[in-house]
A and B are shown apart, each in its own frame.
Chain A
Amino acid sequence: MAQNITAPLSGKVISLDIKVGKKVEEDDEALVIEALKMENPVYAPCNGTVKEIKVAVGDLVEEDQVLAVIE
């Protein structure tokens, strides 16, 4: 079953720690969103394989936006 990684707050993606096809474990750091000059790590919600990444470093994202899909 696919699960989305969504943005917990709006901000700018400043690093991506996942790659399509790579395995991730629950609570692994997936990417970092910068908001108010503060780095907010976003974690994988479950174990699985990264199926799709929908953002790139430098993108501005809104709260709840889907950032990546894990299967």
Chain B
Amino acid sequence: MMSRVFSLFESTGFAYLTPGMVFMWAIGVTLIYLAIARRFEPLLLLPIGFGVIMANLPLAGLMHPGEGLLWRFYHYGIQWEVIPPLIFLGLGALTDFAPLLANPLLIFLGAGAQVGVYLTFFAAFGLGFSLNESASIAIIGGADGPTTIFLTTKLAPHLLGSCAMAAYSYMALVPIIQPPIMRLLTTRKERLIRMQKSRKVSPLEKIVFPIVATLLIVLLTPAAAPLISMLMLGNLFRESKVVERLNLTSQNELMNIVTIFLGVSIGATLSAENFLRRDVIFIFFFGLFAFMVSTATGVLLAKLMNLFLTTKINPLLGAAGVSAVPMSARVVSNVGAEADKKNYLLMYAMGPNVAGVIGTVIAAGVFLAFLK
């Protein structure tokens, strides 16, 4: 009789529970809590959190290669590189590049903020991570979720869940991480600088931009093609004004659908054995370091540019060179408004902000070209 009871018990998941799994449930629940109670990137952290729980259920086999449901989402969606480019299609449809076209000089700020990515790459490598792992960790500094996922899948898939979680966490923490650095590196007088009115960008320029940008960027960094070309296709949907249905589908329904699969798949890569490693602490630490350095170098580059410019730019704009769109632009606007409530920096900050997206994708493309 006792042996029957015991074999019944053995057929349940309880017999196979490990402390690691229970710990991962706690991580999953924490992410869900942050999403619901704190509104930290809820569209992503909520499905990621639930995905973490799903992937850590004994005997359920949801991540079992070849047959598990989550494994299929992960394999066909992320390993096959379908989802991140589709997210970029939606981002392209959502993005107005006019602030960048109106003030092309600001593109340098989008490049300046990638310095953190490269510094972190060398720092992580110096501390014993492999070249591929270092690149995946460093790209977190761009604060761009889909690009981090795209690069990590190719270079260091075992770090995917941790790197993606770090990237999305820091995106949510942009309003907390960036302002102290921005205040520290600028004087009040600099924060008061008002931007010169930007010129109007014609509809033709907006249509030509995605086509020319695709050609130029993909010729320069072919490995960035999947992300850049989809970003620009989405943008062409938006600016052409003749395919409103495709435009709206890309930025709403399609984006929402792929976000569901992206979230649970990323969560599902966070099994106890993948996550409970000493490396993970370093990933979060280096990711934060990269993001802080990127913020700082963006601001410092803006100050450097001011040494040569006759019409000064507000150096706070440099912080928007990271690609957390539009969170960083909002932060710039808020920090600027602290100094002068009638200084409206939001739209100007969108210039470096969208340049930052392109910059991070190019940085990822350069890593791929070197390391793949």
B347 touches A35 (CB 8 A): yes
> Can you name 27 A-B pairs with beta carbons within 8 Å?
A8-B342, A8-B344, A9-B344, A9-B346, A9-B347, A10-B347, A27-B341, A27-B342, A35-B346, A35-B347, A36-B326, A36-B329, A36-B330, A36-B346, A36-B350, A37-B326, A38-B326, A38-B330, A38-B333, A38-B346, A40-B333, A40-B344, A40-B346, A41-B341, A43-B341, A43-B342, A63-B347
Q: 8 tightest A-B contacts by CB?
A: A8-B344, A36-B326, A9-B347, A38-B330, A9-B344, A43-B342, A9-B346, A35-B346
| Range for the number of chain A residues in contact with chain B | 10 to 19
Within 8 A of A (CB), among B325-353: 326, 329-330, 333, 341-342, 344, 346-347, 350
Contacts of A41 in B (CB 8 A): 341
Contacts of A8 in B (CB 8 A): 342, 344
Given contacts A27-B342, A36-B326, A37-B326, 12 further A-B contacts (CB under 8 A): A9-B344, A9-B346, A9-B347, A10-B347, A27-B341, A35-B346, A36-B329, A36-B346, A38-B326, A41-B341, A43-B341, A63-B347
Contacts of A63 in B (CB 8 A): 347
Using CB atoms, name the residue of chain B closest to A33: B344
- Could you tell me which B residues sit within 8 Å of A by CB distance? 326, 329-330, 333, 341-342, 344, 346-347, 350
Using CB atoms, name the residue of chain B closest to A29: B341
Using CB atoms, name the residue of chain B closest to A7: B344
Using CB atoms, name the residue of chain A closest to B345: A9
Using CB atoms, name the residue of chain A closest to B333: A38
Contacts of B329 in A (CB 8 A): 36
CA gap between A27 and B343 in the complex, in Å:
12
